[in-house]
Structure 1
Amino acid sequence: MGNNLQQINQVAVIGTGVIGNGWIARFLAQGYDVIAFDPSEGAEQRTQKAVAQAWPSLEKIGLAEGADRNRLAFMPTIEKAVCDADLIQENVPEREDLKKAVLASIDAHAKKSAIIGSSTSGIMPSVLQEGLAHPERLIVAHPFNPVYILPLVELVAGRKTDQLVMDRAKSFYESIGMKPLIIQKEIEGHLADRLMEALWREALHLVNDGVATTEEVDAAIIYGAGLRWAQMGPFLTFHLAGGEKGMRHMLEQFGPALKLPWTKLEAPELTDELKEKVISGCESHAGDVTIGELENKRNEFLVELLSLVESYWPETTATKKLVVEK
């Protein structure tokens, strides 16, 4: 598949933590040559292990022609990693100064036609474009863990991004089985993370105030909202809550409740006591199951769930145009 898309034949991944390795696994499964760079000791071994862990799930989803785990090579410098790449995916830690320095190095050594995508979960692309010689080719391309299974990728243009770059990026990410969500108005945290962070803050309050344990909060999502959201999301879920008149009746009936103090917008102070509640709760909940075993269970579940979601929302309906308008 990789060789058939205009000008995108080789990809580079800079930063090989959880997200970077997720990208590598997806790119390899889609038949691409991948060049990687990460200065940390043991990075290549960790990547090989991560790709091996992801590969069974990718085989279930379906490998592209030419997909091969051996089409991965690590380079000793950013310059050698990006010089021949058509698309570069940056995944270094969420520190603005570090990202800007790394992106400046990528920008200096990448060929003119290359697209630079940052996996940043919160920094706006216009901020990352500051100081670049070629800011027009930088975008945010923010995925979700595990990148090799979950299809959503938020694409955000900065003030100096060329529209043709966004068009090419959208086509590329679609070609590797992703659902590009084009965010047309820059905002810190983009879209999906802002929604998840709101729920996370409320969950921390509930645990901190002794209302629920971490396991009980998880159960509330798993067996309630989470099941509905996987199919419809919050708006269509509430649309159904309004009965025959849909959202119109729902807002008339339940709209006043929005003024009730049911949520706390500010996060609680992360005290040692709260940290211990969260940590011990998660460890107790997980029991003797290792992180690796949990990842395997999650991957198996997500592969099956994704297939189910696609069967209810085919490309011709909800997913044919994922665009957030201004």
Structure 2
Amino acid sequence: MSNTNTVAVIGTGVIGNGWIGRFLAQGQDVIAFDPAEGAEERTRNVVAQVWPELEKLGLAEGASQDRLTFVSTLEEAVQSADFIQENVPEREDIKKSVLTSIDQHAKPDAIVGSSTSGITATTLQEGLQHPGRVIVAHPFNPVYILPLVELVGGRATDDVQMERAKAFYQSIQMKPLVIKKEIEGHVADRLMEALWREALHLVNDGIVTTEEADAAIIYGAGLRWAQMGPFLTFHLAGGEQGMRHMLEQFGPALKKPWTKLEAPELTKDLKEKVIEGCESHAGDVPISELEDKRNEFLVKLLDLVEDYWPQSKI
């Protein structure tokens, strides 16, 4: 694939619009399709709103909001695309129906990435004429800022197809993590879900409020994880001998029942604790303002991460 491609985006919700922002900022031509009423206006408003943050991250040569075209049919959107990003609702029947249509109308060599967070590539490939080109390409919100994308092939995917997909995502300044074995929920979501389940238990048991649980991550683990992740963080916890000493000293504690692996029952009482806690924590600040603050923070943090971790192989 050349540096400039025609990219089709099917489905323009939060994730789809995030992809569109990133594609445009990286100098791609984008053709979008979404049958929902008002979809084009919402997308153009979102892109205009986040464009200043994309400018701070650095626009590719030729990047322009004017390179976005909305069309009225899926067939028109995909027929000339070099790469297709599918972002329809997370329902297997809907995704399979849309992917079947994409498969029928797209160029034979076009790669199709599904933004699914939980459906396997093998499942999505079932019944397609060109199954190997359909892969999981799971991003993280906001897609236009966060660089991680999990790439997972299915039974029909070969190494050449995955390498093409990896090269494309690298060309738009993403960090593609190629996962060699299919699992439900992929990798990053499973790690986040484990923490989320434990946080719900702590709130449910009256140990912390939602704000206190957030503070425990923000001012403790989160600051370290942004630079090194959990494994290198614990590697440093072992002193001069690193992980070897850490596991010898603290490994036995893993058997202690500190954590609760199963999620708590989402009772009405727990729901209210979580909802009221978040609303109290956020105060009167509207979601749009919180998103702006998040984006500004992430742009600065990404620059810092790159300064301290330039040797990353991802």
2:134 is matched by which residue type in structure 1?
A: L
Give the counterpart of 2:219 among 220, 223, 230: 223
List per-residue Cα deviations over 1:236-283 (Å, max 9, x = no partner).
000111111111111111111111111111111111111111111111
Q: Which residue number corresponds to residue 94 of structure 1?
A: 90
RMSD after superposition: 1.0
List per-residue Cα deviations over 1:188-228 (Å, max 9, x = no partner).
11110100010011111111111111100100000000000
CA apart distance, 1:162? 2.8
CA apart distance, 1:76? 1.2
1:241 aligns with 2:241: no
CA apart distance, 1:4? 3.9
Give the counterpart of 2:200 among 204, 218, 221: 204
- Once the two structures are superposed, the pairs formed by residues 1-326 of structure 1 within 5 Å of their partners are 4-5=2-3, 9-314=5-310, 317=311, 319-320=312-313, 322=314
Q: What runs of 5+ residues in structure 2 fail to find an aligned partner?
A: none
CA apart distance, 1:53? 1.8
Rounded Cα–Cα distance in structure 2 between residues aligned with 1:93 and 1:136: 22
1:202 is matched by which residue type in structure 2?
A: E
CA apart distance, 1:305? 0.4
Rounded Cα–Cα distance in structure 2 between residues aligned with 1:70 and 1:207: 47
Look up the SS of the partner of 1:139 in the other structure.
Answer: strand
Rounded Cα–Cα distance in structure 2 between residues aligned with 1:57 and 1:165: 32
Q: May I ask how many residue pairs the two structures share in their alignment? A: 314
Rounded Cα–Cα distance in structure 1 between residues aligned with 2:264 and 2:73: 42
List per-residue Cα deviations over 1:75-115 (Å, max 9, x = no partner).
11111111111100001111111111111111111011110
1:260 is matched by which residue type in structure 2?
A: K
1:183 is matched by which residue type in structure 2?
A: I
Look up the SS of the partner of 1:41 in the other structure.
Answer: coil
Rounded Cα–Cα distance in structure 1 between residues aligned with 2:158 and 2:36: 33
List per-residue Cα deviations over 1:142-185 (Å, max 9, x = no partner).
11111011111111111101322111111111011001111011
Q: After TM superposition, where is structure 1 displaced by more than 3 Å over at least 4 residues in a row?
A: none
Rounded Cα–Cα distance in structure 1 between residues aligned with 2:204 and 2:43: 36
CA apart distance, 1:48? 1.1
Look up the SS of the partner of 2:84 in the other structure.
Answer: strand
1:258 is matched by which residue type in structure 2?
A: L
CA apart distance, 1:41? 1.4
Rounded Cα–Cα distance in structure 1 between residues aligned with 2:240 and 2:190: 31
1:237 is matched by which residue type in structure 2?
A: T
CA apart distance, 1:301? 0.5
**How many percent of aligned residue pairs carry the same amino acid?**
78
Rounded Cα–Cα distance in structure 2 between residues aligned with 1:118 and 1:233: 26
